[in-house]
Amino acid sequence: MSDSSTRRAAEGAGAAEGAGSATGRQAALQPLAVRTARVIVWGEAVWLVALVLTLAVPALHEGDRHWWPWTCVAALVLGGLGLAYVRRGRGNASGAA
């Protein structure tokens, strides 16, 4: 496809999507406001539950699955580092241009 036909196809798709609006264009989407620290804490809670389950059920940490609890521990450690990074203010991309 040439550039002009690609552009026309994209414009046609945009017009079809915005057919209900007066100008034929959709409003620009805005990013959702998400509390990053809350997402990390929930992720850590899930990994903590996974760690407790792998330690409570012997079949989940014996034999070929001996590394499963260590995966949960690694996730908890990395989540803690990520939480510290976000709470210091660098992980929220507040200064991004």
The domain segmentation of the chain, as residue ranges, is 1-29, 31-91
Contact residues for 17 (Cβ-Cβ < 8 A; gap 6+): 26
> Is the pTM value of this prediction over 0.75?
no
Q: Are 41 and 83 in contact (CB under 8 A)?
A: yes
- Model pLDDT for residues 6-60, shown as the tens digit of each residue: 555 555 554 555 455 566 788 888 888 888 889 999 999 999 999 999 999 999 8
- Model pLDDT for residues 61-78, shown as the tens digit of each residue: 999 999 999 999 999 999
